[in-house]
Every structure is written in C-alpha cells, then in structure tokens.
Amino acid sequence: MERFEFILGKYLGLLLTLAVNTAIMTAGFYLALIWQKRQLGTQDLAPLEAIFFILLELAMAVGVALLFSTLTTPVLSAVFTLSLYVIGNSLSDLRSLGEHSGGAAASAILRFLSWVLPDFGVFGAISQAAHGELIPRYRLIANSLYAALYVTVLVSAAVLVFEEREFQ
C-alpha cells in the first residue's frame, strides 16, 4: 500500500463515518418532524440544504485534522484543528479587523490570513433552514466548489507531508 493511499483512505473513512452519523441524525430529525406534523411540505426540505452545508464543513474540518495529524502529535493536532475551526468561523470578524486596523502592515497580514485560512462561516445556513427558506443555487454551487478545492489542497498537502516523513 502506498502512503498516498493510506492518507486518502483515512480521509474517506473519516468522512464516511461522519456522513453516516449525519444521515442517521437527519433521519431522526425527519421522523420527529413527521411525527409532529403528520406530513411534509416543500418548506420541510430546506433543512436538507443546510445539512449538505454541514457535510461540506465537516469535509473541510476532516481535511484540516488530517493535515495536522501528519505534522504533529494527536493532542496538538486536535488543539490546532479546534483552533483553526474557531478562527474559521470568525473570519468575517478578522476581515473587519483588518479593514479597521490603523497600520497598513497589520491590515495586509489580516487580509492575507482571511483569504488563506478556511472560511467555515460560509456554510452557516441553519437559521435559513429553520425558517423554511431555500438556499440560492449559486450559493450551493459556490460553497461546494470552495469546499472541494480546499479539501483537495488539504489532502494533497497531507499526502506530501506524509510521503516525506521518516518513521523509526
């Protein structure tokens, strides 16, 4: 087995585990909804789009965790992944801070970080789904492409690091 196959298998296995768990929770949600309402309308399908965004967000988080796991110990990998997830959910605040900072260097650094770090905030659609609002198609496509590109970069970087790593 090649090293890239190990990394790719690890990523796909973790993602499949999360997808199955999410599917089970989605089925439970819809069973509870049917139990309460006795029927489903078209507005009741809006949560499926938000769940799709949750899966995209999980795919990116797994990619981040996988990259960090090839670089550091498991504990540091978990800490770094959690930290990057929290920062990624606050990137809009980081962009605002960059715009309002007094120095040009600080503004440039914060702007650069806001473009390089994963933006988990773009996947927030739970409030829309709770109100039965459908997510615009362009947003579904753009976020899917963003997640696919980011995951590709993360998994490729993890493969490159793992290929060069020496084990005792």
pLDDT digits (tens, 9 = 90+) for 86-104: 988 888 777 777 677 767 7
Residue 107 Cα distances to 85, 117, 120, 121, 122, angstroms = 22, 15, 21, 20, 22
| Alpha-carbon gap, residue 63 to 80, rounded angstroms | 12
What mean pLDDT comes out for the span 54-73?
A: 94
Examine the pLDDT at 153 and tell me if it is beyond 90.
Answer: yes
Q: How many domains does the chain have?
A: 1
pLDDT digits (tens, 9 = 90+) for 36-62: 877 777 677 778 888 999 999 999 999
pLDDT of residue 167: 63
Could you list the residue range(s) of the whole structural domain that residue 35 is in? 3-164
pLDDT of residue 168: 57
Q: Which of 51, 52, 59, 78 shows the shortest CA–CA distance to 18?
A: 59
